[in-house]
Amino acid sequence: MARSKILQDLAERIAAIERQEHPCRQVASVMGMPAWGDILLGGDLGAGTLVELLTTEEGTGAWTLALFMARRACGERKVLVVADNEKRFYPPAAFRLHIDLQRMLVIRPKQRPQALAALTQALRCPAVGAVIGKLERLSAAECRRLQVAAETGGGVSFLLRSTAALRQPSFATVRLLLTPVANPVASSTVRYVQVEVIRFRGSKAGQSLLLEIDDEKGHVRVPASLAAATSLSQPARASG
């Protein structure tokens, strides 16, 4: 075997060992919000995680949340891959969410199976930090293949699906149900979404969090009033 091949294999093995020992090391706070710690054990997603975002209809905020988390998963160097089989993904809005378009590959396949195959290949690439795709029907085998690919490459996979997927088996590590919440204040740029944890390893199902999406500033955060209430309660816990 050529020496260069041996060295390449060795480098890949070292990288794989490092990923196994510190699954969260390469994914710097994907959620980015301390409040997630209340509902998700450890408050964070590890590399190689498969996340399903389930919605009842379009326009809920699933894409925004997926892009927000994917941006954090990719950090400063890794690439984001988006599968746009419906040809509806609109990058100018993604740019407003501070997505670096020069580090975002958009796959526009002609058929749905190509989207799945592209995402699986992309997940295996160590240079890819996250992938996002809308895949309505996903068999258990396909889901498992995605999960294995994510574990191989160390990226995070975000799958956008409808609530019909709740009736199907899933290998996703995290399942979140998103429900839009009517905005009590008339603001064209701020909207709210309720995120409920359907499944997360080690966490209780049914816990939820309200998120505020600011389309103008490109922010996703816990609403200020909720964040203030959380910070007030923390010193009491600390002193106890």
- Position among 28, 41, 101, 205 found at the interface with other proteins (CB under 8 A): 101
CA dihedral 97→99→101→105, nearest 10 degrees, is: -120
- Nearer to other proteins among residue 10 and residue 140 (C-beta): 10
Q: Under the criterion CB under 8 A, does residue 126 sit at the interface with other proteins?
A: yes
Q: Under the criterion CB under 8 A, does residue 121 sit at the interface with other proteins?
A: yes
Q: Under the criterion CB under 8 A, does residue 125 sit at the interface with other proteins?
A: yes
Residue 151 vs residues 28, 124, 187: alpha-carbon distances, Å: 16, 8, 41
- Nearer to other proteins among residue 117 and residue 166 (C-beta): 117
If we measure between CA atoms, which residue out of 99, 100, 120 comes closest to residue 109? 120
- Nearer to other proteins among residue 36 and residue 89 (C-beta): 89
Q: Under the criterion CB under 8 A, does residue 90 sit at the interface with other proteins?
A: yes
The pair of structure tokens assigned to 151 is: 């574990």
Q: Under the criterion CB under 8 A, does residue 186 sit at the interface with other proteins?
A: yes
Residue carrying structure tokens 């294995």: 148
Q: Under the criterion CB under 8 A, does residue 94 sit at the interface with other proteins?
A: yes
- Position among 145, 161, 175, 191 found at the interface with other proteins (CB under 8 A): 191
Q: Which helix (H) or strand (E) holds 161?
A: strand 156-162
The pair of structure tokens assigned to 104 is: 């975002």
- Nearer to other proteins among residue 12 and residue 38 (C-beta): 12
The pair of structure tokens assigned to 146 is: 């995605």
Q: Under the criterion CB under 8 A, does residue 11 sit at the interface with other proteins?
A: yes
Q: Which amino acid is at 206?
A: G
Closest distance to other proteins from the beta carbon of 126 (Å) = 6
CB 123 within 8 A of CB 133: no
CA angle 167-172-174, nearest 5°?
Answer: 100
| Main-chain dihedrals φ then ψ at residue 4, nearest 5 degrees | -65, -35
Length of the chain: 240
- Position among 20, 37, 38, 91 found at the interface with other proteins (CB under 8 A): 91
Q: Under the criterion CB under 8 A, does residue 161 sit at the interface with other proteins?
A: no
Binding site for other proteins (CB under 8 A): 4-5, 7-8, 10-11, 14-15, 56-64, 67, 77-79, 87-96, 98, 101-102, 104-110, 114, 117-118, 121-122, 125-128, 179-183, 186, 188-189, 191-193, 215-216, 218
